Amino acid sequence: MPNYQGKYLSLAVFLALLVLPSSCNGNSVPNREAKALLKWKESFGNQSIFQSWVTPATANATTQSPCRWRGVTCNNAGNVIAINLAYTGLKGTIENLDFSSFPNLLRLDLKVNQLTGKIPSNIGLLSKLQFLDLSTNSLNSRLPLSLANLTLVYELDISRNNITGELDPSLFPDANSRSKTGLMSLKNFLLQDTLLSGRIPNEIGNLKHLSLLALDGSHFCGPIPPSLGNLSSLTVLQLSSLQLSGNIPVSFGTLRKLNILYLHINHLSGFVPEELGNLSSLVVLHLAENNFSGNLPSEVCGGGKLVNFSASFNNFSGPIPKSLKNCKTLYRVRLEYNQLTGNIAQDFGVYPNLTYIDLSYNKLSGELSPNWGECRNLTLLKAAGNMIGGKIPDEITQLNQLIELDLSSNQLSGIIPTQVGKLSKLLSLSLKDNKLSGPIPVGIGGLSNLESLDLSTNMLTGPIPYQLGDCSKLRDLRLNENGLNSTIPYQIGNLVALQDLLDLSYNSLSGEIPLQLGKLTSLESLNLSHNNLSGKVPSSFSNLWSLVAVNLSYNNLEGPLPNSNFFRSAQPEAFSNNKDLCGERQGLKPCNATFTENGGNDKRKIVIIVVASLASISILLMVCIWILSFLRYRSVNQSKVEGRANRENLFSIWQFNGKFMYKDILEATKNFDETCCIGVGGFAKVYKAEMPDGQVFAIKKLSSHTDIEMQLVKSFKNEVAALTELRHRNIVKLYGFCSERRHLFLVYEFMERGSLAKILSNDVGAKELDWTKRIQIIKGVAHALSYMHHDCVPPIIHRDISSKNVLLSSELEARVSDFGTARLLNPDSSNWTEVAGTYGYVAPELAYSMAVTEKCDVYSFGVLALEVLTGNHPGELISYLHSSPDQRIGLADVLDPRLSSPVEQQSEDGLSFMLNLAILCFNPNPQSRPTMRSVSQQLEVGCFW
Ligand SMILES: *[C@@H]1O[C@H](CO)[C@@H](O)[C@H](O)[C@H]1NC(C)=O
Ligand SMILES: *[C@@H]1O[C@H](CO)[C@@H](O)[C@H](O)[C@H]1NC(C)=O
Ligand SMILES: *[C@@H]1O[C@H](CO)[C@@H](O)[C@H](O)[C@H]1NC(C)=O
Ligand SMILES: *[C@@H]1O[C@H](CO)[C@@H](O)[C@H](O)[C@H]1NC(C)=O
Ligand SMILES: *[C@@H]1O[C@H](CO)[C@@H](O)[C@H](O)[C@H]1NC(C)=O
């Protein structure tokens, strides 16, 4: 309010001066500030932000004073007191801004832009400055010592830049005094031209009014200056992700107002001073990823306000501090990977708001207290790798928000709680490497979201409950090294999402292997060794297309091995020590080799057999020759262009459990009539086919010409090869493919709602996609890409992620489609190819290098995620947004205006988290982009530091 009044008042005064006889020389007030600003503007070229900044000569009464310019604020006297151009996409330097012209400046806010170059050393002339925020730019500078002059500054944020401190004075004794002779000494060279990491200048301790000091994410090294302890008004101190070393200064104990202290990810060492316990206002304390030793500060929650505490990945030893036990405010706690000791039952209390606690890999002993059941909001509980004994308390099954439970590698005994199935949100359960006994509870089938289950290396007995077959999302199942007996329930074959590993080895399982296991077509590794399994290896195992490792050794299996390339080429050890396995492969005896087995006593018999075999072989040979010449004759008559497509000349259907025929498809699409066409793409048309039995498919037809161009065949084969190896709930299902001389087509799952691009482009559709659905869509695409990049061997790069290639199911779930340009990323082959992809989504590096990596997909994903948030392709916004991770971009400015803003705080947090993740993903530097796996994991767990 006062600001507005001020502005209008100053304008009025100004106009009055204009109207009055020019006794005060009003028209040509020598406006140093305007001149300095215009000079700065000139250095930017033509950027629209500065449209309102015009020279007095061309200005009229309304724009003459800089006080009316965008981002400039004046006081009543017409002096510039604030320059605020945060988030404006400013691209340039501040080296040309003459700070000496702004003696009244109070605020300078240029955060989140693309500023480069140095911070001018005369910044120290802004002697009234109170607020300086240059964070999230690319400033490449030493921190000017003159900053120490700005004694009135209360907020100083230069985080996320390429700023460094002063050189270590002991290395360069006179580093700060220029050589009188003017010779470029080594020191001066270093000072002027390169940015070796430097120290945080001790002089910062002069800024007595500082309330916020953020230097994180730049390039400071060396010790933390003890003078920071003088900043008694500090509430926020961010020194994370630097290369700081040495101890935490004892003087920090005087920072009584400190709420937030970030020291994580540095090389700090030594004991954490007890004096930190004096910080009675602490809400957030991050000490993780340093080399601290000794005890955790005993009064860490002395003020009773601590919410977020991390000390993981250090060498802390000794007991859990008493003050933590009663710290009811805790929300997140990370203490993993230390040497902490003590009794876990006695040292922890009840934390009603706790959502995340990781105590893994310490030396905690005692038993798990039933109290953990009272921490009702826990989503993650990990205490792996300790010495915890006793039983798993039944109360733990009350944690109905739990997503991850890991108690592995302890000394837990007794049974698995029978009610474990109540943990219905659980994604990951690991109890491996304990001394658990008794049966696997039948209720485990209630874990309908479970993706990973590891009960290996225990003393579990009894049968594998068939209810396990209800955990339909399991990707990884390990029950090995127990005493499980009886047969393998055939329902295990329903776990079609199994992918990483099915390990039932080292048990006492008996009976035949259920042929239903052949349905596990995504499974990569199967271990059934060291059991008492008998009978044949089911021939359905030849359907296990994804297998890369198998072990069936040490059983009583017999008969032929399945007829598939994988089984033909697997190592013989995988089948050793069985009753009577045979197959056409080294290390096994061939099947049907009855005569060698019957011994060689009867020579006549052998002669007869040999003669008979020779005769039949020659007949076979003649038949083959005849067939070959016939085929050759035919193929000469056929179109000469067929090339390699010829091999799939017959209709092939994979993965499809109903029966349908080529003819049915022709009928269902009325012989590919235009009325059935639902989409046209670069190389293909898509048809909707309603089969006689009511099923609906999308048929993607690549060409109907007799002459199939090689390009098409290539694209077709790429798609087939990539897709048949992909099985994921966020990837469009491929049921079958057909390569017939006149038609090349793929049979897909039909996606009722069409593409994301289509639905976002109309207002009704956009409104239907509320924030919850949009978040799910982004997550779905992230999971699909993570799967392609990190779970496929070799990894698959999509290359053309865009909103056109993300389809939606009837429940508006995302399914990634169109792998026309995808190619198996074979590490041996070159990844340099022509640019593929959709304009506006293609990563910038492809414009000059053409090196296709997973990071190109990450870029396109970032664009897509932003598009889902904003409602249309974010084109210009992307050039505006800077690449660095940033928490503070205006959410309201970007969200799709067709939706009302998110109601709950929760979902607003989620959206800004997503926004920041998207921004990280389209970082221009591929190396700085996260991997899809980490994106996918972060989206799932939603843990932010
Ligand atoms: C004077 O300023 C107003 C408001 O900015 C603008 O619309 C108008 O075009 C300007 N006139 C001239 C001559 O610059
Ligand atoms: C510090 O401020 C004083 C006046 O307030 C000024 O004379 C001096 O040049 C400044 N020093 C630096 C290094 O900017
Ligand atoms: C940071 O500065 C160093 C030294 O000048 C330079 O090598 C590096 O590329 C810069 N990094 C960024 C992100 O600007
Ligand atoms: C738990 O969280 C709620 C909501 O954030 C807060 O109001 C309450 O004070 C917290 N409880 C404790 C014991 O800190
Ligand atoms: C647990 O979380 C819910 C929502 O996530 C929240 O409403 C509730 O206040 C939390 N419980 C406590 C005890 O804070």
Per-residue pLDDT tens digits for 311-348: 999 999 999 999 999 999 999 999 999 999 999 999 99
Residue nearest to atom 2 of ligand 4 (CA): 353
pLDDT band at 941 (very low <50, low <70, confident <90, very high): low
CA-wise closest residue to 922 among 813, 822, 812, 842: 842
What is the position in ligand 2's atom list of the atom closest to the CA of 144? 13
**Most ligand 3 atoms within 8 A of CB, residue of 114, 140, 164 to mutate:** 140
What is the position in ligand 2's atom list of the atom closest to the CA of 122? 14
- Long-range CB pairs of 703-711, under 8 A, 24+ apart, other chains included: 703/743, 703/744, 704/672, 704/742, 704/743, 706/639, 706/641, 706/741, 706/742, 707/639, 707/641, 708/641, 708/642, 708/645, 708/744, 710/643, 711/683
d(CA 468, CA 753): 33
What is 89-100 written as a DSSP string? Answer: --EEESTT--GG
Q: Architecture of 71-194 per CATH?
A: Alpha-Beta Horseshoe (3.80)
CA angle 687-690-695, nearest 5°? 120
Between 282 and 923, whose confidence is greater?
282
Instruction: List all residues whose CB is within 6 A of at least one atom of ligand 5.
Output: 352-353, 377
Does the C-beta of 353 come closer than 6 Å to ligand 4? yes
Average pLDDT over residues 465-472: 95
pTM (predicted TM-score) = 0.62
Does the C-beta of 377 come closer than 6 Å to ligand 4? no
Q: Which ligand has the nearest atom to the CA of 160?
A: 3
Going from the C-alpha of 232 to that of each of 252, 255, 500, 649, 890, the distances in angstroms are 9, 5, 54, 80, 31
The residue whose two tokens read 């009014």 is 209
Between 659 and 458, whose confidence is greater?
458
Q: What are the domain boundaries of the chain?
A: 71-194, 658-749, 755-941
Report how far ligand 3's centroid is from the alpha carbon of 186 (Å): 20
Query: Does the pLDDT of residue 94 top 90, yes or no?
Result: yes
pLDDT band at 57 (very low <50, low <70, confident <90, very high): low
425: CB partners within 8 A, 6+ apart: 379, 400, 401, 402, 403, 449
CA-wise closest residue to 672 among 682, 686, 683: 686
Does the C-beta of 127 come closer than 6 Å to ligand 2? yes
Average pLDDT over residues 631-645: 35
Rg (CA), the chain: 35
Query: Does the pLDDT of residue 60 top 80, yes or no?
Result: no
Tokens representing residue 753 in the block: 């709602």
Domain 755-941 sits in CATH 1.10.3720.10: no
Residue nearest to atom 8 of ligand 1 (CA): 60
How crowded is residue 682: how many other Cβ atoms within 10 Å of its Cβ?
A: 10
pLDDT band at 921 (very low <50, low <70, confident <90, very high): confident
Q: Which ligand has the nearest atom to the CA of 57?
A: 1
Q: 294 has which bridge partners?
A: 316
Whether the CB-CB separation of 62 and 14 falls below 8 Å is answered with no
d(CA 705, CA 728): 33
Going from the C-alpha of 208 to that of each of 203, 232, 277, 400, 860, the distances in angstroms are 11, 7, 22, 49, 46
Give percent of the chain above pLDDT 90. 46
What is the position in ligand 2's atom list of the atom closest to the CA of 124? 14
Instruction: List all residues whose CB is within 6 A of at least one atom of ligand 3.
Output: 138, 140, 162, 194-195
Segments in 331-399 forming alpha helices (H) = 344-347
The per-residue pLDDT for 858 is 93
Whether the CB-CB separation of 180 and 159 falls below 8 Å is answered with no
Q: Which ligand has the nearest atom to the CA of 65?
A: 1
The per-residue pLDDT for 236 is 96
What is the position in ligand 3's atom list of the atom closest to the CA of 116? 14
pLDDT 10s digits, 419-436: 999 999 999 999 999 999
Q: Could you tell me what percentage of the chain is helix, strand and coil, using 3-state DSSP and rounding each to the nearest 5?
A: 30, 20, 50
How crowded is residue 329: how many other Cβ atoms within 10 Å of its Cβ?
A: 17
Residue nearest to atom 3 of ligand 4 (CA): 353
Going from the C-alpha of 129 to that of each of 44, 81, 724, 853, the distances in angstroms are 24, 9, 63, 46
The per-residue pLDDT for 494 is 94
CA-wise closest residue to 545 among 492, 508, 592, 496: 496
Q: Which ligand has the nearest atom to the CA of 62?
A: 1
Ranking 261-265, 290-294, 563-567 by mean pLDDT, the lowest is 563-567
Report how far ligand 1's centroid is from the alpha carbon of 61 (Å): 8
Residue nearest to atom 11 of ligand 1 (CA): 60
The per-residue pLDDT for 725 is 66
* Angle of helix 905-921 versus helix 932-941 axis, rounded to 10: 170
Q: 582 has which bridge partners?
A: 560, 589
**Most ligand 3 atoms within 8 A of CB, residue of 162, 196, 220, 882 to mutate:** 162
Average pLDDT over residues 901-923: 75
Report how far ligand 5's centroid is from the alpha carbon of 426 (Å): 18
CA-wise closest residue to 227 among 265, 200, 267: 200
Identical fold, 71-194 and 658-749: no
**Most ligand 4 atoms within 8 A of CB, residue of 329, 351, 355, 376 to mutate:** 329
Residue nearest to atom 14 of ligand 2 (CA): 124
Average pLDDT over residues 463-483: 96
CA-wise closest residue to 878 among 814, 922, 908: 922
Task: Enter the DSSP assignment of 755.
Answer: B
Does the C-beta of 146 come closer than 6 Å to ligand 2? yes
Task: Enter the DSSP assignment of 898.
Answer: T
Query: Does the pLDDT of residue 707 top 80, yes or no?
Result: no
Does the C-beta of 63 come closer than 6 Å to ligand 1? yes
Residue nearest to atom 8 of ligand 3 (CA): 162
The per-residue pLDDT for 212 is 96
CA-wise closest residue to 896 among 769, 745, 719: 769
Question: Of 3.40.190.10, 3.40.50.970, 1.10.530.10, 3.30.200.20, which CATH number belongs to 658-749?
Answer: 3.30.200.20
Whether the CB-CB separation of 510 and 533 falls below 8 Å is answered with yes
pLDDT 10s digits, 778-797: 999 999 999 888 887 677 88
pLDDT 10s digits, 511-526: 999 999 999 989 989 9
Report how far ligand 5's centroid is from the alpha carbon of 372 (Å): 16
Half-sphere exposure of 279 (CA within 13 A, CB side): 31
What is 545-611 written as a DSSP string? Answer: TT-SEEE--SSEEEEEPPSSHHHHHS-GGGG-S-SEEE-SSTTSBPTT-HHHHT-S--HHHHHHHHH
Residue nearest to atom 14 of ligand 4 (CA): 329
How crowded is residue 811: how many other Cβ atoms within 10 Å of its Cβ?
A: 9
pLDDT 10s digits, 8-47: 544 444 443 333 333 333 333 347 888 899 899 988 888 8
Report how far ligand 1's centroid is from the alpha carbon of 35 (Å): 20
The residue whose two tokens read 């003819």 is 663
The residue whose two tokens read 């004794």 is 173
Q: Which ligand has the nearest atom to the CA of 326?
A: 4
Identity of the highest mean pLDDT range in 302-306, 565-569, 809-813: 302-306
Active site residues per annotation? 800
Residue 701 assigned as binding residue: yes
Segments in 305-461 forming alpha helices (H) = 322-325, 344-347
d(CA 850, CA 856): 10
Report how far ligand 5's centroid is from the alpha carbon of 395 (Å): 19
Query: Does the pLDDT of residue 670 top 60, yes or no?
Result: yes
Report how far ligand 2's centroid is from the alpha carbon of 124 (Å): 6
The per-residue pLDDT for 830 is 35
Tokens representing residue 7 in the block: 């502005």
Residue nearest to atom 5 of ligand 2 (CA): 127
Residue nearest to atom 1 of ligand 1 (CA): 60
Q: Are strands 814-816 and 744-749 parallel, antiparallel or unpaired?
A: unpaired
As a whole number, the mean pLDDT across the chain is 79
Report how far ligand 3's centroid is from the alpha carbon of 95 (Å): 17
Tokens representing residue 138 in the block: 């690319």
What is 467-527 written as a DSSP string? Answer: GGGG-TT-SEEE--SSEEEEPPPGGGGG-TT--SEEE--SSEEEEEPPGGGGG-TT--EEE
The per-residue pLDDT for 906 is 52
**Most ligand 2 atoms within 8 A of CB, residue of 125, 126, 152 to mutate:** 125
Ranking 467-476, 558-567, 703-712, 768-777 by mean pLDDT, the lowest is 703-712
Report how far ligand 5's centroid is from the alpha carbon of 353 (Å): 6
Half-sphere exposure of 76 (CA within 13 A, CB side): 5
518: CB partners within 8 A, 6+ apart: 493, 538, 539, 540, 541, 542, 543, 544
Q: Which ligand has the nearest atom to the CA of 142?
A: 3
φ and ψ at residue 671, rounded to 5 degrees: 55, 45
Report how far ligand 5's centroid is from the alpha carbon of 334 (Å): 20
d(CA 645, CA 709): 11
Residue nearest to atom 5 of ligand 4 (CA): 353
CA angle 298-299-303, nearest 5°? 165
Q: How far is CA 400 from the centre of its chain?
A: 25
Identity of the highest mean pLDDT range in 165-169, 500-504, 662-666: 500-504
pLDDT 10s digits, 722-750: 666 677 889 887 776 666 655 667 778 88
CA-wise closest residue to 919 among 869, 850, 853: 869
Does the C-beta of 103 come closer than 6 Å to ligand 2? no
Give the H/E segment covering residue 757: helix 756-761
d(CA 114, CA 45): 14
pLDDT band at 828 (very low <50, low <70, confident <90, very high): very low
Q: Residue type for 160, please?
A: R
What is the position in ligand 2's atom list of the atom closest to the CA of 123? 14
